[in-house]
């Protein structure tokens, strides 16, 4: 693992994140929906209610029941909406009214994808973060409490490269800070086996991840389910300032371009990168990709002072990681 400069995570434990500029291959590992993680306690953190558009298919499948074995969902999923969402309200519209409208849009979006409202958490970050503001101490305290109570085995956060909106950047900072603190507490209590996955996803402001940060990609088989139409109907729940149908179609157009770009990379790569690919057959007419950068956090002993280490997950998964992935 290549380390970056030290950053504090919790008193007595340091945090060493993975370096972001080294890629094991130009093409991410590719799987269908059957390769998604199972039996996880998942917290999906959305800065705004509409930031889950690019991973809506993955979230829907992860929340579906595994009907072959049981009717229980494949994972214990919760969606956390961090911002109150009133910043873009029309002139004269009260903050609370706009915040409620955005929350209701998020609930409709999640319902279309198969989520119940009880699976959603309205975090209501204290203020809208901007270039001059840092994470509020009360928000960080509540985030610490949430992570401590939920004990997630996987968290979804915005990509580190999304700096277009400060709430996105600060959402990532809050979550990572809380998870690292929780891991330090667990290790000190003798539970050093905690090793959650961190899945970074593109948002509205960063639809195309750099190649170095795409180590996992979904290509949906869509058998018996018109996923693209379901995603479109879910996207339409977000009525962005009058762009009720244009914005969702723009999102889906970018998604189609992503899929086409990946297919072209695969075609050009041929056997050269075959060891990094799965056996998934990619259909250029039906396949749609959703990209994730997956790492994991673990306690690593470095002399007398343990470290919390973030390391890139390599696919195909090792037997140990495959077990943690739910297989």
Query: Exposed/middle/buried for 312, CB within 10 Å: 0-12, 13-18, 19+?
Result: buried
Is the separation of the CB atoms in 293 and 209 below 8 Å? Answer: yes
Whether the predicted pLDDT of 244 surpasses 70: no
For residue 2, being part of any structural domain is answered with no
DSSP 63-96: HSB-TTT-SSBSSEEEEEE-S---TTPPTT--HH
pLDDT confidence bin for 8, thresholds 50/70/90: very low
Residue 261: Cβ within 10 Å count: 12
For residue 68, being part of any structural domain is answered with yes
pLDDT confidence bin for 286, thresholds 50/70/90: low
Q: Which residue has the higher pLDDT, 137 or 5?
A: 137
Let me know how long the chain is. Answer: 327
CA–CA gap between residue 207 and residue 173 (Å, rounded):
20
This prediction's pTM: 0.86
Domain of 221 in residue numbering reads as 7-325
- Whole-angstrom Cα Rg for the chain: 19
For residue 281, being part of any structural domain is answered with yes
**Residue whose token pair is 């991973």:** 55
For residue 46, being part of any structural domain is answered with yes
**CATH number of the structural domain spanning residue 215:** 3.40.50.10320
**Per-residue pLDDT tens digits for 26-40:** 677 888 888 899 999
For residue 212, being part of any structural domain is answered with yes
For residue 78, being part of any structural domain is answered with yes
pLDDT confidence bin for 323, thresholds 50/70/90: very high
Whether the predicted pLDDT of 2 surpasses 80: no
For the chain, the average pLDDT equals 79
Q: How far apart are the first and last CA of the chain?
A: 25
pLDDT confidence bin for 97, thresholds 50/70/90: confident
**Per-residue pLDDT tens digits for 98-132:** 888 888 889 999 999 999 999 999 998 876 666 56
**Per-residue pLDDT tens digits for 180-235:** 999 999 988 888 788 999 999 987 655 555 556 788 888 777 654 567 778 778 88
Specify the number of domains making up the chain.
Answer: 1
- Predicted confidence at residue 12, as pLDDT, reads 57
- Predicted confidence at residue 277, as pLDDT, reads 62
**Per-residue pLDDT tens digits for 302-318:** 766 778 999 999 888 99
- Predicted confidence at residue 108, as pLDDT, reads 92
- Predicted confidence at residue 7, as pLDDT, reads 45
Ramachandran assignment for 120, one of left (phi > 0), alpha (psi -120 to 50 degrees), beta (any other): beta
**Residue whose token pair is 């970018």:** 254
What's the token pair of residue 327?
Answer: 């297989």
CA–CA gap between residue 43 and residue 199 (Å, rounded):
10
Whether the predicted pLDDT of 41 surpasses 90: yes
Whether the predicted pLDDT of 57 surpasses 80: yes
Whether the predicted pLDDT of 296 surpasses 80: yes
Whether the predicted pLDDT of 85 surpasses 80: no
Q: Which residue has the higher pLDDT, 234 or 295?
A: 295
For residue 39, being part of any structural domain is answered with yes
**Nearest alpha-carbon partner for 127 in 85, 97, 160:** 85
pLDDT confidence bin for 3, thresholds 50/70/90: very low
Q: Which residues contact residue 8 at a Cβ distance below 8 angstroms, ignoring those fewer than 6 apart? A: 14, 15
Residue 179: Cβ within 10 Å count: 26
Whether the predicted pLDDT of 236 surpasses 90: no
Residue 306: Cβ within 10 Å count: 18
**Per-residue pLDDT tens digits for 215-228:** 888 877 765 456 77
For residue 302, being part of any structural domain is answered with yes
CA–CA gap between residue 173 and residue 168 (Å, rounded):
9
Backbone angles phi, psi at 192, to 5 degrees: -75, 0
């Amino acid at each position: 693992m290549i380390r970056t400069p030290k950053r504090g995570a919790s008193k007595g434990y340091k945090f060493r994140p993975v370096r972001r500029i080294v890629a094991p291959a130009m093409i991410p590992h590719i799987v269908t929906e059957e390769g998604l993680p199972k039996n996880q306690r998942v917290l999906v953190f959305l800065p705004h209610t509409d930031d889950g558009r690019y991973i809506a298919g993955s979230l829907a499948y992860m929340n579906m029941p595994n009907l072959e074995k049981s009717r229980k969902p494949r994972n214990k999923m919760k969606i956390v909406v961090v911002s109150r969402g009133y910043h873009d309200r029309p002139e004269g519209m009260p903050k609370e009214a706009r915040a409620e409208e955005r929350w209701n849009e998020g609930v409709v979006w999640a319902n279309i994808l198969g989520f119940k409202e009880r699976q959603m958490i309205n975090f209501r970050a204290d203020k809208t973060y901007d270039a001059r503001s840092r994470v509020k101490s009360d928000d960080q305290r509540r985030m610490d409490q949430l992570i401590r109570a939920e004990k997630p085995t996987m968290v979804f956060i915005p990509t580190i490269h999304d700096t277009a909106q400060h709430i996105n950047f600060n959402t990532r900072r809050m979550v990572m800070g809380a998870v690292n603190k929780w891991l330090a507490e667990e290790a000190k209590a003798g539970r050093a086996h905690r090793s959650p996955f961190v899945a970074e996803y593109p948002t509205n402001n960063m639809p195309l991840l750099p190649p170095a940060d795409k180590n996992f990609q979904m290509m949906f088989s869509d058998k018996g389910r018109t996923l693209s139409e379901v995603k479109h109907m879910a996207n339409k729940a977000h009525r962005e300032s009058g762009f009720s149908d244009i914005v969702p179609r723009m999102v889906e157009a970018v998604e189609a371009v992503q899929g086409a770009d990946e297919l072209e990379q695969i075609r050009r790569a041929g056997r050269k990168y075959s060891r990094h690919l799965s056996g998934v057959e990619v259909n250029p007419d039906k396949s749609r990709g959703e990209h994730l950068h997956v790492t994991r956090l673990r306690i690593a002993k470095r002399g007398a002072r343990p470290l919390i280490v973030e390391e890139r997950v390599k696919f195909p998964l090792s037997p140990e990681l495959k077990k943690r992935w739910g297989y």
